[in-house]
Structure 1
Amino acid sequence: MKRINIGLLGGGFMGRTHTYAYKNLPLYYDSLPFEAVLKIICTSRVESAQKAKAVFGFENATTDSRDIFLDPSIDVVDISTPNVCHKDALLAALQAGKHIYCEKPVVISRKEIEEVELALKKAKHAVRMTVFNYRFVPAVMRAKQLVEEGKLGRLLTFRSAYLHNSSTNPFKPIGWKQNSDFGGGVLFDLGSHAADLVQFISGEKIVSVCGKSQIGFPFRQGMDGNEWETNADEAFYMLAKTETGACGTVEANKLALGTNDSLSIALRGTQGALKFSLMDPNYLYFYDNLQPGELLGGNRGYTRIDCVGKMPFPGGIFPSAKAPFGWERTHLHSVYSLLRAVFEGEEACPTLQEGLDICRLLLSAYESDEKGVWVNVYSSL
């Protein structure tokens, strides 16, 4: 069995999530020819590094990321730090020739896109993957399959929205995700997923955007307990157009009172339509416009497809394929895709370049918001 050594940067929520996936992979996938070895974790403070080592089960802990990049035994660098730290970690990992597993958004500025793309061209071959875990929901995978089968016809319109209520309390102290100095802002945080699902399922790139940001509460409680002026978007609304002319909206919103973790997407074409909601994760809804719509409705209407836990082999063994699908399962299959690619020497999707392209799209939306004009995503750099 091949041992794949993991070096993890960041011991926060996503670091914990990725660790859960590495550790539990053998329970969900039988007879794997590889295993993840939790070799070393790096955090910013000695206390947090030692605690993460003990709680997560890593062999070693450090506060110096060079202990990961310069260690020849480390195969995969997992980047789960705050967004502002991603670029430097990516450049160091690329220079060291490591396999990369990077949380979104992979970078936070146009300059960083250029730097990473240049380093990517010079780097030797390795697996470089962006974490867009919602691609691995069975209902989302089935939606993409339907599009590829031509069931929707020509795409006409789309709507993608990721809604939270986490910024509706003005007295809640901010964290780094609410601070633009750390690459915070709802468009980077939630909009990355909402935009990626449009492009992933449809197979089309968004090429022009018009965006508008919103700050619902200009002042909040800072991390030090004092009043703090909000400097990152709390909601963002985007009009978007794809390369074939399909038009739609992408929304990222943490001011959405009454929601929890509401990611939803709808695509509508000339022959059919589909819709999915993460709060109803077991089902995909498909509308076939080629069905007869006679008097009393005929057979036309949305069909609920029971996707539940029917993962592609070797997934779907545990838990049972008929069991309700859970959020953590998306990360398990994402990590499985990474490690399988490392083992087989193949490319893993979503690639780092796909992550950079999403950043290019989001930064174009920010530019549109600033200038008050439509922005062409691939000609604005």
Structure 2
Amino acid sequence: MTQRTIRFGVIGCGLMGKEFASAAARWCHLTDVNFIPVITAVCDANPDAIGWFKQAVPSVEKTFTDYRDLLADPDIDAVYCAVPHNLHAQLYVDIIRSGKHLLGEKPFGIDREANADIQKAIAENPEVLVRCSSEFPFFPGALQIAKWVEEGRFGKIIEVEAGFWHSSDLDPQKPINWKRRIATNGEYGCMGDLGMHVLHLPMRFGWKPANVRSLLSQIIEERPDGKGGTAPCETWDNAILACEVQTKDQAFPMLLSTKRIAPGHANTWFIRIQGTAFSAEFTTKNPKQLAWLPYEAGGKQAWHVMDVPYKSAYGTITGGIFEFGFSDSILQMWAAFCDEIANGTGRMLQPFHCATPEEAEFSHRLFTAALESNRTGGTIPL
């Protein structure tokens, strides 16, 4: 099979930039795909961050400390950008205007105004493919739930719950970083940092909140500043958003939660859907396990639980008996982005695409309303 080579530049050589490089190095893990990413250039304002790429990624030919120099390179087709939220508007807009396809990190702007600037650039450059990073819905269990929703299995929806929780911030001695500062992370706090993961599937199902009542928590108020003192934590640690969803034929409550301090959880993503005819739930805490409950009037109510086969959106060399993990979900997400570049949105090898700018834009509407709800104590319409 002839494969189209997509030449990538990486802007932001931190943790997630390295994860993309690792996914590109594992491309042989995929079967029957007609595209392959090759990272040819990287950029970071900190020259020390570039060192790992020069050592670990042989395809890297060029390194930059100014992202404008990377965008001026005609030998780059697409960019992955992973930088703090306050830099999204300027960098994403410049990337889009350069004509290079973009996979950017959430939340696509530090606030709603910044997101509007990005949306304007997208509208002015329709030939550029722009998508938002969100890998967890590519787990096989999540894809199976998406298929059940598409098939209309659930009957009348009773309620939905989705969340993304981790616990590393439970340690009060963890040094402060950019995610705890409004200037770099934004007022959304944990919502902007984690929320697109939570909203990805509900948005894809057409379940947009009509209103929101929020409960936002700031649990640890200061942290070590790395200089022998302490610094105030300015952003929200945890958020619980109680929403009402109104579709063309039904209404139901939906509870969304993003938590940096959830004792015992290390990056746990989950979704639970309860319906009158069918219920299902999946969590990455048990990544090989899927639970569902079919129901007929007068029948028994019994949960079924089984190990999910390793059956992903794109075929792999891995046997079905093995366990799917985080690095696999990133590889699948990247395959979806490259598929859409190579084959076009309507001709992808499989139909589940990455999170869209429109889905990211709605997340800003929701998070802005959640901030207002927290200030006023009321339920805010969207």
TM-score by length of 2: 0.91
Q: Per-residue displacement from partner, 1:185-217 (whole Å, max 9, x unpaired)?
A: 2112223212323333x4321221111211112
- The CA distance in 1 between the partners of 2:27 and 2:369, in whole Å, is 37
> In the alignment, what sits opposite 2:36?
35
Q: Using a 3 Å threshold, how does the CA distance of structure 1 residues 152 and 139 change in structure 2: closer, same or farther?
A: same
- 1:234 counterpart = 2:233: no
Please report how far the alpha carbon of residue 124 of structure 1 lies from its aligned counterpart in structure 2 after TM superposition.
3.3
Please report how far the alpha carbon of residue 87 of structure 1 lies from its aligned counterpart in structure 2 after TM superposition.
1.4
Which residue of 156, 159, 162 corresponds with 2:161? 159
- The CA distance in 2 between the partners of 1:345 and 1:148, in whole Å, is 22
- The CA distance in 2 between the partners of 1:351 and 1:225, in whole Å, is 43
- The CA distance in 2 between the partners of 1:255 and 1:132, in whole Å, is 20
Q: Which stretch shifts more, 300-309 or 116-125?
A: 300-309
RMSD: 1.9
How many pairs does the alignment contain?
A: 368
- Which residue identity is paired with 1:34? F
> In the alignment, what sits opposite 1:328?
327
Q: Using a 3 Å threshold, how does the CA distance of structure 1 residues 32 and 271 change in structure 2: closer, same or farther?
A: closer
Q: Per-residue displacement from partner, 1:133-157 (whole Å, max 9, x unpaired)?
A: 1111111111011111111112221
- The CA distance in 2 between the partners of 1:25 and 1:169, in whole Å, is 37
Q: Is the 8 A contact 1:97 1:124 kept in 2?
A: no
What SS is found at the alignment partner of 1:39?
A: strand
- Which residue identity is paired with 2:42? I
Please report how far the alpha carbon of residue 31 of structure 1 lies from its aligned counterpart in structure 2 after TM superposition.
4.6
- Segments of structure 2 that go 5 or more residues without pairing to the other structure are 347-352
- Segments of structure 1 that go 5 or more residues without pairing to the other structure are none
Q: Using a 3 Å threshold, how does the CA distance of structure 1 residues 33 and 106 change in structure 2: closer, same or farther?
A: same
> In the alignment, what sits opposite 2:380?
375
TM-score by length of 1: 0.91
> In the alignment, what sits opposite 1:287?
293
Q: Per-residue displacement from partner, 1:343-370 (whole Å, max 9, x unpaired)?
A: 1133643222222222322222122212
Q: Is the 8 A contact 2:112 2:365 kept in 1?
A: yes
Q: Is the 8 A contact 1:84 1:181 kept in 2?
A: yes
Please report how far the alpha carbon of residue 179 of structure 1 lies from its aligned counterpart in structure 2 after TM superposition.
2.1
- Which residue identity is paired with 1:309? Y
Please report how far the alpha carbon of residue 336 of structure 1 lies from its aligned counterpart in structure 2 after TM superposition.
0.5
Q: Is the 8 A contact 2:109 2:115 kept in 1?
A: yes
- 1:357 counterpart = 2:362: yes
- 1:268 counterpart = 2:274: yes
Q: Is the 8 A contact 1:175 1:223 kept in 2?
A: no
Which residue of 246, 252, 271 corresponds with 1:246? 252
- The CA distance in 2 between the partners of 1:18 and 1:209, in whole Å, is 34
Q: Per-residue displacement from partner, 1:23-56 (whole Å, max 9, x unpaired)?
A: 2112x21353322121111111223224433234
- Which residue identity is paired with 1:15? G
What SS is found at the alignment partner of 1:104?
A: coil
> In the alignment, what sits opposite 2:68?
66
- 1:191 counterpart = 2:195: yes
- The CA distance in 2 between the partners of 1:250 and 1:48, in whole Å, is 35
What SS is found at the alignment partner of 1:309?
A: coil
Q: Which stretch shifts more, 216-225 or 105-114?
A: 216-225
1:2-81 → structure 2 map (5 Å cutoff): 2-26=4-28, 28-57=29-58, 58-81=60-83
